[in-house]
C-alpha cells in the first residue's frame, strides 16, 4: 500500500537536494567551526552561504541578527523569557499580550510566566478566526505592554493573521512585536524589510529542512537576554556548537521554499481546493476559516457524527496520514485552543481533522485521499449513535 502524507504542518519530508547538500558535513567536513585548524575553518564559506540564504529568505538586512538555534520552541522561549528578564523583572513594564490560539510553545511558556507574576492578556480572535488591529486595539495599554506576540499563520486552521498591520500598530505605540512564523515561512511571503516585526521565529523542519534547527530574527539594535549561556557562539546570544550540516540544510531549504512560493499558490492551492471541495460535498461537514484567509496547504474539516480519533485510525489504515489537534498534544488528543475559540461545543462533540499538503503532494495522492475520506465518513456514520 502506498502511504499518503497529509500532515505537513506537523513536519515535512527533507527535500532530497537538502539531504545531498548536508552529506559532506558528516564524514569529511566535520570540524567545529570555532576551531582554528583547517577542519574548523573549511566549513566557514558554506556556513556563510547558508546564513546569506536565510537572511535573503526572510528579507533581513545585514544589521539585523538571525540567531541559529535548535527549533522554534527554543526561539519562542528565548523571546518570551528574554522580555520577562529585560522588561518585566526590571519593573519597566508588566504585561505581555498574545492570542488564545497560539502554539503550545508560546501558550505554555506564557502560562509559566503568568505563574511568576507576568500579566498575560490572551486576545480572542474575531468571527473569522483572525487577530486583527481592531482586536488588538481594544483595551490596549502601551505603557504597560512589554511585548505583543501573535502567530503569523495558525498551525491547525492555516488562518493568516495580518502581521504587517499588527506590527505597525505596535511600532506606532513603541511596543515590541514578536511573531511565530513557523507555519507561514515557505507558504506565504515573509519579508521583514517591509514589516515592522521585531522578533520572528522559524523552524527548518516545517519547510523541508532538517529537524532540530531553527532561527530567531532579532531586529537591528535590539538587546535580548539569551536563554542559553555558555560559549561565545552567535556573538554570545546563543551558546552551543552550531550544527553545520543542519545549518547548511536549513539555508538551502529556505531558498527552495521561497522559490516554490509561486507553486504553492497555483498547483498546491488547487490540489488543496480539490480535496476541500470533495469534503464539502459530503453532508454535514464544514471547513474552519475562509479559504482566502488561509495558507494554501491547510484544511481543518469538521465532520458531524464522527469521532476524531476513530476517523484518523481509519484513514491511517487506508494509508492516509492526517491529524487532529496539534501534533505536539496528540498523545493526549486534546482539542486545540484554536478550535475551542472558533467552534461551538456542539460542533466540538464531532471532530476536526487537519489535512496539510506540501509541494511534494501529487494529484493521484489527493484522488486516493478523497476516496479514503468518502469511504471512512460513510462507514463511521453508519455505525455512529449520534448521526
Catalytic residues: 328
Output DSSP code: residue 328: G
120 Rama sector, left if φ>0, alpha if ψ -120 to 50, beta otherwise: beta
Number of residues that bind ligand PLP (CB under 6 A): 14
Q: Is 297 in the site for ligand PLP (CB under 6 A)?
A: no
Distance separating alpha carbons of residues 5 and 357, to the nearest angstrom: 8
Alpha helices in the chain (DSSP H): 16-22, 24-27, 38-41, 44-58, 72-83, 104-115, 133-137, 163-172, 244-259, 261-263, 269-281, 308-317, 337-342, 345-348, 363-382
Q: Quote the least distance from Cβ 154 to ligand PLP, whole Å.
A: 7
Closer to ligand PLP at the Cβ: 122 or 173? 122
> Mask of contacts with ligand PLP, 141-170, x by CB under 6 A?
----------x---x---------------
When asked if residue 203 is in the footprint of ligand PLP (CB under 6 A), the reply is yes
Stretch that binds ligand PLP, among 168-176, 180-188, 314-322, 366-374 (CB under 6 A): 180-188
- Is residue 77 at the binding interface for ligand PLP, with CB under 6 A as the rule? no
Residues 294/157, Cβ–Cβ less than 8 Å: yes
Return the number of the residue (214 or 325) whose C-beta is nearest ligand PLP.
Answer: 214
Whole-number Å distance between alpha carbons of 220 and 60: 9
Give yes or no for a contact between 208 and 268, defined as CB atoms under 8 angstroms apart.
no
Burial label, 167 (beta-carbon count in 10 A; 0-12, 13-18, 19+): buried
Determine, following the binding rule CB under 6 A, whether residue 182 of this chain makes contact with ligand PLP.
Answer: yes
The residue (of 179 and 285) whose beta carbon lies closer to ligand PLP is 179
Residue closer to ligand PLP, measured from CB, 72 or 224: 72
- Per CB under 6 A, 71 contacts ligand PLP: yes
Residues near ligand PLP (CB under 6 A): 71-73, 103, 105, 151, 155, 180, 182-183, 203, 214, 327-328
Amino acid at each position: 500500500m502506498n502511504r499518503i502524507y497529509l500532515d505537513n504542518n506537523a513536519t515535512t519530508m527533507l527535500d532530497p537536494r537538502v539531504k545531498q547538500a548536508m552529506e559532506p558535513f558528516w564524514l569529511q567536513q566535520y570540524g567545529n567551526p570555532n576551531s582554528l585548524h583547517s577542519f574548523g575553518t573549511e566549513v566557514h564559506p558554506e556556513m556563510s552561504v547558508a546564513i546569506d540564504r536565510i537572511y535573503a529568505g526572510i528579507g533581513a538586512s545585514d544589521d539585523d541578527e538571525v540567531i541559529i538555534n535548535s527549533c522554534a520552541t527554543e526561539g519562542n522561549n528565548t523571546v518570551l523569557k528574554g522580555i520577562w528578564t529585560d522588561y518585566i523583572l526590571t519593573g519597566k513594564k508588566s504585561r505581555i499580550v498574545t492570542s488564545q490560539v497560539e502554539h503550545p510553545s508560546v501558550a505554555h511558556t506564557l502560562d509559566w510566566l503568568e505563574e511568576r507574576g507576568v500579566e498575560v492578556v490572551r486576545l480572542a480572535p474575531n468571527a473569522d478566526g483572525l487577530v486583527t488591529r481592531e482586536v488588538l486595539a481594544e483595551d490596549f495599554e502601551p505603557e504597560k505592554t512589554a511585548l505583543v506576540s501573535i502567530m503569523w499563520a495558525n498551525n491547525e486552521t492555516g488562518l493568516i493573521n495580518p502581521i504587517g498591520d499588527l506590527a505597525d500598530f505596535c511600532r506606532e505605540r513603541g511596543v515590541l512585536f514578536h511573531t511565530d512564523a513557523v507555519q507561514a515561512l515557505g507558504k506565504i511571503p515573509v519579508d521583514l524589510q517591509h514589516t515592522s516585526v521585531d522578533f520572528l521565529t522559524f523552524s527548518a523542519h516545517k519547510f523541508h529542512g532538517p529537524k532540530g534547527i531553527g532561527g530567531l530574527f532579532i531586529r537591528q539594535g535590539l538587546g535580548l537576554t539569551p536563554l542559553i549561556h555558555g560559549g561565545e557562539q552567535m556573538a554570545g546570544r546563543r551558546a552551543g556548537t552550531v550544527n553545520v550540516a543542519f545549518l547548511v540544510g536549513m539555508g538551502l531549504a529556505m531558498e527552495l521554499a521561497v522559490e516554490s512560493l509561486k507553486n504553492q499558490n497555483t498547483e498546491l492551492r488547487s490540489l488543496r481546493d480539490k480535496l476541500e471541495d470533495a469534503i464539502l460535498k459530503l453532508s454535514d461537514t464544514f471547513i474552519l476559516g475562509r479559504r482566502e484567509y488561509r495558507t494554501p496547504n491547510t484544511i481543518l474539516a469538521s465532520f458531524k457524527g464522527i469521532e476524531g480519533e476513530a476517523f484518523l485510525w481509519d484513514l491511517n489504515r487506508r494509508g492516509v496520514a492526517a491529524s487532529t489537534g496539534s501534533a505536539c498534544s496528540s498523545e493526549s488528543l486534546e482539542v486545540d485552543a484554536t478550535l475551542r475559540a472558533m467552534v461551538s461545543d456542539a460542533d466540538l462533540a464531532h471532530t476536526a481533522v487537519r489535512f496539510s499538503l506540501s509541494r511534494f503532494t501529487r494529484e493521484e495522492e489527493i484522488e486516493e485521499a478523497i476516496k479514503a475520506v468518502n469511504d471512512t465518513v460513510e462507514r463511521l456514520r453508519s455505525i455512529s449513535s449520534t448521526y
